[in-house]
Structure 1
Amino acid sequence: MRKIKEVIVVEGKDDTVAVKRAVQADTIETNGSAIPRYVIDQIKLAKEKRGVIVFTDPDYPGQRIRSIIDKEVPGCKHAFLPKNEAIQKRGKGVGVEHASSEAIQQALQHAYTTNEEVEEVITHEDLILAGLIAGGDSKKRREKLGQFLKIGYANGKQLHKRLLTFRITKQQFTDALRYLEQEGYHD
């Protein structure tokens, strides 16, 4: 079983159980999107001592938690789980706790570090030209692009920020677009 050096931030106990089933790691639980100050302080300390990987559910509350942590503790790594890998087998639940060990391992292996000082490489116009914004199939294309790049699903505005934040290069972006074309998601 692979050992993760960084402390993994998850939303709750069930997520901790799923992560520990997949890898050897320590976790910090936020217990929801209203993150208490003491939890932020724990995350800051963990980042200083060992590093942190934020690994939240692929939904709005999970994104909200990421944003809060990014603001309070900049420079953490982020791991993203595709929504289709996090859907409860019988029910409507979406979350890390429903993912397979393989999906969790894959997401953690591709964790990205955020950086506040972002140099624009991929432009808003690039996203429009690629059919990722304002097109009939743009939502599905963004979803597949996020899966390919391991950065998760985002709306158009969030996608641009995420591509810049995680320093996705023009070449990585071009490779992802080529993948979309091969999979039949034409702009």
Structure 2
Amino acid sequence: MKIKEIIVVEGKDDTVAIKRAIDADTIETNGSAINEETLRKIELAAEKRGVIIFTDPDFPGEKIRKTITDRIPNCKHAFLPKHEARDKLGRGIGVEHASPEAIRTALKDAHRMEIEPEEKITKEDLVYYRLIGDASSKWRRERLGELLKIGYTNGKQLHKRLNMFQISRELFLEAVNKIFQEEQNG
């Protein structure tokens, strides 16, 4: 399977993991301090072929994602759940540790952010469904990010991400119901 878009990753090990999973070209940011030359390459790639940002599910990965998105808003975004990005010892986290199947799934489910998103899910919904302000909110947000393929966010960013990716109210409620069923079943 070949992907038309160019995939933006953090480093060489991520490129190796991507190439094990799929036939694709990558641009490496070489960490969170993205230089101007790399941003120009990503801009050109976005113009010519499209870009999928596929960074690690951690703080530096989110920082890279934000830096690129602020400059080049028309990129697609692929996310890996943290448990699929852990190394065998459970210490390291990153795209390079993911299985080829997990990488293919994340890329298949890539989303495009909407520049002027329409609010479909309110902050009140997040409180009502105990995704913020509850002892188990963090776990619920993590699970919601997995189910909707939008990655994990803190409470502050969840509302923004749900609406940027134009997650429908129906899909949101379906995922929330699944989470509550999982909690009840232990």
- Which category of TM-score, normalised to the shorter sequence, fits these structures? over 0.9
Structure 2 length normalisation: TM-score? 0.97
Output aligned runs, 1:15-26, within 5 Å. Answer: 15-26=14-25
Asked if 2 retains the 8 angstrom alpha-carbon contact of 1:7 and 1:53, the reply is yes
Per-residue deviation at 1:75?
1.1
Give a deviation string over 1:136-158, Cα, whole Å, max 9, x none.
Answer: 10000000000000001100111
Asked if 2 retains the 8 angstrom alpha-carbon contact of 1:75 and 1:113, the reply is yes
Instruction: Give the match for residue 84 of structure 1.
Output: 83
Counterpart secondary structure, 2:33: coil
Instruction: Give the match for residue 170 of structure 1.
Output: 169
Tell me the distance in 2 between the aligned counterparts of 1:185 and 1:81: 26
Per-residue deviation at 1:74?
0.7
Matched length: 185
Output aligned runs, 1:137-148, within 5 Å. Answer: 137-148=136-147
In the alignment, residue 118 of structure 1 is paired with which amino acid?
P
Asked if 2 retains the 8 angstrom alpha-carbon contact of 1:122 and 1:164, the reply is yes
Counterpart secondary structure, 1:183: helix
Per-residue deviation at 1:115?
1.6
Per-residue deviation at 1:182?
2.0
Per-residue deviation at 1:185?
6.2
Instruction: Give the match for residue 178 of structure 2.
Output: 179
RMSD: 1.1
Counterpart secondary structure, 2:183: coil
In the superposition, relative to structure 1, how do residues 91 and 125 fare at CA in structure 2: closer, same or farther (>3 Å)?
closer
Output aligned runs, 1:43-54, within 5 Å. Answer: 43-54=42-53
Name stretches of at least 5 consecutive residues in structure 1 with no aligned partner.
none
Per-residue deviation at 1:97?
0.2
Instruction: Give the match for residue 126 of structure 2.
Output: 127
Give a deviation string over 1:131-179, Cα, whole Å, max 9, x none.
Answer: 0000010000000000000001100111111001100010010111111
Give a deviation string over 1:78-98, Cα, whole Å, max 9, x none.
Answer: 000000000010251100000
In the alignment, residue 128 of structure 2 is paired with which amino acid?
L
Per-residue deviation at 1:183?
1.2
Instruction: Give the match for residue 104 of structure 1.
Output: 103
In the alignment, residue 67 of structure 1 is paired with which amino acid?
K
Tell me the distance in 1 between the aligned counterparts of 2:115 and 2:69: 9
Give a deviation string over 1:45-90, Cα, whole Å, max 9, x none.
Answer: 0000000000000000000000000001111000000000000102
Asked if 2 retains the 8 angstrom alpha-carbon contact of 1:141 and 1:185, the reply is no
Tell me the distance in 1 between the aligned counterparts of 2:129 and 2:178: 12
